[in-house]
Amino acid sequence: MSRHPEKLTILRGTLDVLVLQAVSARPLHGFDVSLWLDERSGSTLRLDDSALYQCLHRLEARGLISGTWGVSENNRRARYYEITEEGRRHLATKGERLLSFARMVTTLLAPDSSRG
């Protein structure tokens, strides 16, 4: 997905969950989401903005988020994405699954990383 080999690449389903998480607190436009991902990951996660927009549109087509045109803080027309009820349910189940997966991987890899 990412064309930056030095950065962490990310699976599509994972990105969906992360983007849903980003818009779960309040409506965000695309650039805000990109900033959110950047800040939260401490700049370790980087993906093309183009891929981010495809993700947003895909989530919108699936009815997990809804987009409306609004005005941004610097007075530009921008499309704001808001999580839907279905999106919340999706986030809850998929997020939980992703977390437990991550915990499992962490546990499994811990001895190796201490030895290395």
Partner 1 sequence: MKRGFGFRIRRHDEALREIDEEIQGHLEARIAHLTAQGLSPDAARAEALRRFGDVAAGRAALLAQARRHRLRVRIVVALEQSVQDVRYVGRSLLRSPGFSVGMIATLALGLGINAAVFRVADQVLLRAPAGVRDPHRVVRVETTADFGGGPQRATSFSYGDAERILAGGAFEAGAMYAAPRRQADRGREVAVSAVDARYFRLLGVEPVHGRSFLADEARPGTDPRVAVASHAYWERAFGRAPFTGDQTIVLGARTYRVVGVAPPGFSGLELDPTDLWIPLGDGEFGAGSINGVRIPWYHSDMLRAMRVVGRLPSARTGRVAAGRVTGALSAIDEAMSRPRRTAVLRPIVPAGDAARQGDAHVLLRRLSGAALVVMLLAIANAANLLLARGVGRRSEIGVRLAVGAGRGRIVRLLLAESLLLAAAGGGAAALFGGWTYDALRRLVFPDARWVASAVDLRTFIFIALAAVAAGIGAGLAPALQATRRDVIAALREARAQAPAPRRTRAALVVVQTALSLALVVAAALLVLSLVRLQGVRIGFDPQGLLTVSLSGDLRDPRSRNAAELAERLGDVSGVRGVALASIAPFGSTSMMDITVHGAPFAPEAGDDTPHYAGVSDNYFAVMGMRVLEGRGFAPTDVPGSEPVAVVNASMARRFWGSASPFSSCIQADVCARVVGIVENVRDGPGGEAPMRFYLPLPQTSRPGSSAIVRAEPAAVRPAADTARALLRPGQPGRIEVVADRVARMLRPWQTATVLFVSLGAVALGLASIGLYGIMSYLVSARIPELGIRIALGATPADVTAMVLRSGFRLVAIGGVFGLALAALASRLLNSLVFGVSPLEPAAYAAGCVALFIAAAAAMLPPARRAASIDPVSALRAE
Least Å distance between CB 15 and partner 1? 14
Dist CA 22 CA 52 (whole Å): 12
Q: Is 105:35 a contact under the CB 8 Å cutoff?
A: no
Q: Which two tokens stand for residue 73?
A: 């803080």
| First-residue to last-residue Cα distance in the chain | 28
Q: Is 83:20 a contact under the CB 8 Å cutoff?
A: yes
Closest to partner 1 by CB, 57 or 88: 57
Closest to partner 1 by CB, 90 or 98: 90
Least Å distance between CB 54 and partner 1? 6
Least Å distance between CB 22 and partner 1? 15
Q: Which two tokens stand for residue 105?
A: 């991987």
Which amino acid makes up residue 17?
V
Closest to partner 1 by CB, 81 or 98: 81
Using CB under 8 A, list all residues that contact partner 1: 3, 29-31, 34-35, 46, 48-51, 53-54, 57-58, 61, 72, 74, 76-79
